[in-house]
Amino acid sequence: MKKLHIFGLGLVLSIGAAHADEMSFPKLMPVAIPGAPSLSEPFLVMAGDGPVLTEKHGLAAPALWDWDGDGRRDLLVGEFETNSSDFPMGVEGSTIRVYLNVGTDSQPRFTEEFEWARDTEGGIMEVPQWCCIGFTPMFYDLDDDGYKDMITGQYHPGEVTWFRGSAEGFLPGHKLPQEGDPAADANPAFDAERVKYDPSFQPYPGEPGDIGTFEYWVYSSATFGDLDDDGDYDLIVGGSGGLRVSENVGGPKSPSFGVRKLLLDVNGQPLQTRSYTQSEVQYMQTGMRMAPSGDGKPNPLAVDWDQDGVLDLLVTDSYRASNSRAVSFFRGVKTPDGHRFEPGIELLPAEGGAKAIPGSGQRVYVDDWNGDGVNDLIIGASVATVNGGEFSDELSWEWEDVNKVESAGKDPGLYPPRPRPTLESQRAMYQEIAADRAAEGVTIEVPTDDELMQQLPMQQEWWDKDIGRLYDAGKEHWLTMRHQGRVYVMLGSDGAEQEAMIASKAPESRETVSDSDAGPADSVTDNVALSPVSIRVEPLTVLETGRSVDIEVQLDMMDGWYVYAPTGRNVGQGMKETSVIFSLPDGLTGAGAVRMPPYGFKGSYDIFSGKGVTWAKPIEAIAGTLPGLYEINAEVTYQTCKDDICLLPQTETVVARVLVQ
């Protein structure tokens, strides 16, 4: 295996020139953690002549388990597909690939072909995932019956699925009991706006802390460990609400889990996987809140990494930018206040600030890969491929925030590259939208050619900025990008030699910028964020009898946020497209079809962003309508996202007042 050593202070990888591949790695700097294994250079796990992989949306969550009962551990790899609306999807869903071991238990070798993991009833083992997380198998004997069970978390609802183990295999999955409603979707950002016009509104009355919020439940990546030393497994989760622990209040035979409380470091602060960038600090200064962990997508693994008898955490996150860590190590310690952790450090620091592992969205698993009695680190990663599956150095080894490309789950290669807009293409697109909405009983106005020509320069400017730049730079192959999962292994060895060679203490944790408004450690609801989307109408519109007037609904989005245009291209990727439905009172009628705002592009998505995104409905008074004040309801449905998180679809109704005179 060849090595790629990258040197230079502050160097950002320019892999296109270095000719790296998925079997070459930058030089990793040693980290001295007393008692922990010393890790080898990573190697790519192969299946036959090619790599072990996942497809669909590309995440990979590896685990070892003797699937066929032959005494050799096989490789299980969880994968991700957007599927909650059509669940179950069988082999098309968020499932597990099983690569059978045809080598030995200490020298594994895997078949090129894989099979789908099935439960004892023959059903495909899958979980509903509409965003960003995938099936992440972990194994614990949760009910103390002598059989290990398989568990996995999910995005939202924040369920944890329990596949109970038995002599015959894993039973069909069911939901672990948790306090609160995992489907809860209250959002302080939106609720703060609602309270302004409805002071009686209480988003989650009588519930403790922030348990009724979307942030509390979203991205419930799950692991288990006995943090309170009472002899049963407690649930440890990641997510937008930060790294948390949910005490097992049901006991070792009937597990049931209580309120999720923030895991704290020895200074009493929430655990953070990375530092905030300056742009993120500025973002928080607008009133928005970052996840307490520093990233909205932490994936924890509870393991005694340093073999001192106290559970530690290995945590991964999005790994999109240079302030990310490939793997954060949080050393567990027992204190008078309970189980705490030392501030996190990078487990895999690479020279020159390079990426330690290609791709993003890592998942880690710890087991003895080669049977030498020392823990090894098994890493799943989402890498970028182009041109039908070719590993891309320039996309996988560079930070996604630098390349300005999407993470797993948003793949432009799902669709043919979008051509530059023309009058003909825009006319055809609006005609298709109008036909689709007409089938739903809604009339959408197709703009005239003159109106389309007015919009066309803006559409072409968006295309040039988002897509044309790739053609100009000779990177049009990026438009074929699809994510695939890969699995890497770093073998562990006795760390005594490393400890003697390196200074006695591990690298200090990076300085972080904390959100001064975060409030008490066990609550993140005191910092009420602004809504990323606000909807407004004119407070009063005057309508003269015999004339028509436009009723306008405007959406304003904060920088970085967007909603999806109703072009049909977004639905296939699991996103809710925006709609505005006007309901007119008796006495008023439509004077034309609804006019849509022009849309822009983000990768393979059609989106609306910015301020003043306006829908207009022409109305007029019916003959004989009495003068007076009338109300028009506009039902607005949308889903808002930014690069690293999507919120649940929202439906809001705004009221426009019309004075007929």
For residue 445, what pLDDT is reported? 83
Q: How far apart are CA 106 and CA 117, in angstroms?
A: 23
389: Cβ contacts below 8 Å, ≥ 6 apart: 482, 484
What are 382-400's pLDDT values in tens digits?
Answer: 999 999 899 999 999 999 9
The confidence score (pLDDT) of residue 497 equals 52
CA distances from 87 to 9, 67, 94, 207 (A): 49, 25, 10, 30
Half-sphere exposure of 445 (CA within 13 A, CB side): 18
DSSP for 456-525, written as a single string: HHHHHHHHIIIIIHHHHTT-GGGGG-EEEEEEEEE-EE-THHHHHHS-SSPPPPPP----TT--STT---
**Domain 413-477+532-660 of CATH type 2.60.40.10:** yes
Residue 502 is predicted with a pLDDT of 47
Query: Are 89 and 120 within 8 A, CB to CB?
Result: no
Q: Is 364 helix (H, G, I), strand (E, B) or coil?
A: strand
pLDDT digits over 481-493, tens only? 999 999 999 999 9
Give yes or no for a contact between 358 and 288, defined as CB atoms under 8 angstroms apart: no
Domain boundaries along the sequence of the chain: 15-411+481-501, 413-477+532-660
Residue 345, pLDDT score: 93
Per-residue pLDDT, 17: 31
Residue type, 215: E
CA gap 48, 58 in Å, rounded: 20
15-411+481-501 and 413-477+532-660: identical CATH topology: no
- CATH of span 15-411+481-501: 2.115.10
Sequence letter at residue 379: I
Q: What is the pLDDT of residue 186?
A: 72
Q: Is the pTM of this model over 0.85?
A: no
Per the structure block, which two tokens stand in for 201? Answer: 């509104």
Q: In order along the chain (661 residues), what is the average pLDDT of each group of 10 residues?
A: 30 34 88 93 94 91 97 97 76 93 96 96 92 93 97 93 97 96 73 52 56 87 96 93 93 94 92 72 53 78 97 94 92 96 94 91 96 97 93 93 82 80 91 86 85 89 88 91 95 70 42 36 38 88 93 92 88 83 94 88 84 94 93 94 78 93 91
